[in-house]
DNA sequence: CGGAGTTTTGACCTATCTCAAATGTTGTGG
DNA sequence: CCACAACATTTGAGATAGGTCAAAACTCCG
């Protein structure tokens, strides 16, 4: 299945899986579905029966507050897995909602455990992906807790760019994202109005540009410098193999 | 070993492990160490050879910025595991530093994988703990991104109380924590001066109290109401068993 | 007693928020 | 192909939460 390329890109740098592993992985996928923008893929408080591999498209993972505000916890991009912990928890704490058309590979949540038993190398890769997710959450905490709005925004945009990059997207100095200012503000913990002003500032410095429905990073070098971006937390070769008896 | 009680408390509600499992778990611990306050347990950028079970004492997990500021990502309490992902990653992205004397149970990072193979129920519990960690990180993002200082602080304090509670601590309406204002401010993403003002405000309303080196929650009900605290993300019985073939 | 770390204070500054309204944009049905 | 609704962006003005600076006071140890 060619559409698995984001995963292939992401994983091949680990130099861990052979073609048998890939075959096994593909056999796990029982079906693929197409989802429109604006659909709930995981809904907070619900039992989740599927795990989804994101083959294409974007989503956001967020929590909604008592007062209706929301905070986006992370973006979900091609090559990510949605609901990896769902076999373990009775219900989800957050909501995952598509922000573009998506193609998802599904497999039943109750087979994750057997995968861990039967395909240890594959399990290891899944655990590594969960660990990367956790690193990204931690960086989001730092970003929101200790960076001022302009750096905060620049930092997030670069993270998204790098993550797409790793999965084989964004050839040129560009990210193409269906992200509007509301989404950005909910991810950054800012009001949408301030988000707009900050974004405008980046635009005025020719760092970013915006076309209808998409967002381009024009000057990645300057943006990275502005954001003090240190990519180590996204390192696609960070898997530790030496100590693993496989 | 009696000192494992925080883990026993935390896990027994899952009603998953039998005494064999517990015996196996204890056999994994090769040694215990005592660590003073102010020591690095995990240092960012280093290879990590051990996984630690926190038997007593407190630590903070944080990242340091270019400008020297830091952001605490999570508190580490008895019943938590430090470095669960270390067998998987070459080096750590964050630092874990003790903030009180701690007792830690150690086991070699390279045995985690074999544990997953040989003790599936145990592995499941570990995965559940990793999932809880992730939920807590997500809540920290929401707290910092979308709550104003007073609610933010109240929310964090209650989280800490609840987490201790689950592990068998804090009988009375009280938390006892070696947390000073600097630590709090680095966890909340506030300046230490503002943290002081906010804390004082809570004190004036008789919600919290402070004795040298420790911090007491006096009126948990009002504090919870103020913080809009919803404990579901800490639910100690959230494990999903039905679909697990074990 | 001295020094390091922590807490407290006050004054002032500014980043960010809120409110409210105008302006654009996009997709839909007639 | 227009008109309208729904949604997204933009603007300005005024309010405020929270930051910064600098210094004093307190606490804890050795």
Helix B149-166 vs helix B192-204: angle between axes, to the nearest 10 degrees? Answer: 80
Q: Can you tell me the distance from the alpha carbon of B122 to that of A36, in angstroms, rounded to the nearest whole number? A: 39
In a domain, B92, yes or no: yes
pLDDT of residue B70: 96
Say if B135 is an interface residue toward chain A (CB within 8 Å): yes
Q: How confident is the model at residue A30 (pLDDT cuts 50, 70, 90)?
A: confident
Reported in sequence order, the residue ranges of chain A that DSSP labels E, i.e. its strands, are 31-35, 40-42, 50-56, 59-64, 70-76, 81-82, 95-98, 102-108, 208-211, 214-217
Q: Which residues of B touch A114 (CB under 8 A)?
A: 245
pLDDT of residue B72: 98
Mean pLDDT of chain B: 91
Strand C contacts in A 3-62 (CB under 7 A): none
Residues B29 and B89 in one domain: yes
Is strand D in 7 Å reach of the CB of B182? Answer: no
Q: Give the count of domains, chain A.
A: 2
B111-120: per-residue pLDDT in tens? 888 887 788 8
**Mean pLDDT value across residues B147-161:** 97
CB of A238 within 8 Å of a chain B CB? The answer is yes
pLDDT at B3: 76
Same domain, A161 and A127: no
Helix (H) / strand (E) element for B214: namely strand B214-217
Contact with chain B for residue A70, Cβ under 8 A: yes
What is the per-residue pLDDT across B86-110, written as a single tens digit (0 to 9) for each? Answer: 999 999 999 999 999 999 999 888 8
Q: Nearest 5°: phi and psi at B73?
A: -95, -35
In a domain, A240, yes or no: no
In tens, the pLDDT along A127-144 reads 999 999 999 999 999 999
Question: A77 and A161 share a domain?
Answer: no
pLDDT tier, B171 (very low <50, low <70, confident <90, very high otherwise): low
Query: How confident is the model over A99-127, as pLDDT tens digits?
Result: 999 999 998 888 888 887 788 888 899 99
Decide if B244 is inside a domain: no
Q: What is the mean pLDDT of residues B152-158?
A: 97
The stretch A61-89 carries a mean pLDDT of 96
Pick from B117, B139, B161: which residue ends a domain?
Answer: B139
pLDDT at B199 over 90: yes
The first and second tokens of residue A106, run together, are: 């599904």
Joined tokens for residue B94: 């964050």
Residue to test with chain B: of A240, A244, A245, A246, most B Cβ within 10 A: A240
Confidence of residue B212 (pLDDT cuts 50, 70, 90): confident
Q: Does B68 touch chain A (CB under 8 A)?
A: no
Asked if residue A181 and residue A76 are part of one domain, the reply reads: no
Last residue of a domain, one of B115, B139, B163: B139
Q: Which residue is nearest to nucleotide D19 (CA to C1')?
A: B191
Where residue A204 sits, what CATH number does that domain have? 1.10.10.10
- Domain extent, residue B207, equals 149-234
- Does the beta-carbon distance from A245 to B113 stay under 8 Å? yes
What's the CATH code of the domain at B23?
2.60.120.10
Q: Mean pLDDT over all residues of chain A?
A: 91
Q: Is the pLDDT of residue B81 over 70?
A: yes
pLDDT category of residue B244 using cuts at 50, 70 and 90: low
Instruction: Flag if B145 and A117 touch (Cβ within 8 Å).
Output: no
* Model pLDDT for residues A195-224, shown as the tens digit of each residue: 999 999 999 999 999 887 788 999 999 999
Q: Which of A116, A131, A146 sits opposite B89 (nearest CB)?
A: A131
CB neighbours of residue B118 within 10 Å: 11
A14 and A122 in a single domain? The answer is yes
Domain stops at, among A99, A119, A139: A139
Give the Cα separation of B15 and B87 in Å (integer): 27
**Which residues in chain A have their CB less than 8 angstroms from residue B86's CB?**
240
CA-CA distance, A123 to A22, in Å (whole number)?
A: 12
- Assess whether pLDDT exceeds 90 at residue B204: yes
Same domain for A186 and A100: no
Tens digit of each residue's pLDDT (9 = 90 or more) over B36-59: 999 999 998 888 889 999 999 999
Query: What pLDDT, on the 0 to 100 scale, is given for residue A227?
Result: 97
pLDDT at B242 over 70: no
**CA–CA gap between residue B186 and residue B208 (Å, rounded):** 19
d(CA A58, CA A48): 19
Q: For residue A178, what pLDDT is reported?
A: 87
Residue A123 in domain: yes
What Cα–Cα distance (Å) separates residue B227 from each residue in A26, A140, B41, B141, B230?
45, 22, 32, 15, 9
Tell me the nt nearest to A148, Cα to C1'.
C15
- If asked whether residues B208 and B86 sit together in one domain, one would say no
């Amino acid at each position: 299945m060619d559409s698995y390329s984001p995963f292939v890109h992401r994983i091949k740098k680990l130099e861990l899986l052979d073609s048998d592993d890939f075959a096994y992985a593909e056999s796990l996928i029982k079906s693929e579905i197409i989802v429109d923008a604006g659909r709930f893929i995981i809904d907070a408080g619900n039992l989740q029966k599927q795990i989804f591999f994101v083959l294409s498209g974007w989503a956001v993972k967020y929590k909604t507050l008592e007062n209706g505000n929301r905070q986006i916890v992370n973006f979900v991009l091609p090559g990510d897995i949605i609901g990896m912990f769902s076999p373990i928890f009775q219900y989800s704490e957050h909501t995952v909602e598509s922000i573009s058309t998506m193609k998802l590979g599904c497999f039943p949540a109750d087979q994750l455990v057997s995968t861990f038993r039967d395909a240890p190398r594959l399990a290891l890769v899944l655990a590594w992906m969960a660990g990367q997710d956790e690193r990204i959450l931690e960086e989001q905490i730092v970003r929101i807790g200790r960076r001022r709005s302009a750096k905060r925004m620049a930092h997030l945009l670069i993270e998204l760019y790098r993550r797409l990059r790793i999965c084989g997207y964004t050839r040129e100095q560009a990210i193409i994202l269906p992200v509007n200012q509301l989404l950005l503000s909910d991810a950054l913990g800012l009001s949408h109005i301030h988000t707009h002003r900050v974004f405008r500032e980046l635009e005025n410095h020719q760092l970013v540009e915006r076309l209808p429905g998409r967002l381009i990073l024009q000057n990645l070098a300057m943006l990275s410098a502005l954001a003090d971006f240190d990519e180590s937390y996204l390192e696609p070769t960070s898997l530790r193999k030496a100590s693993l008896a496989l």
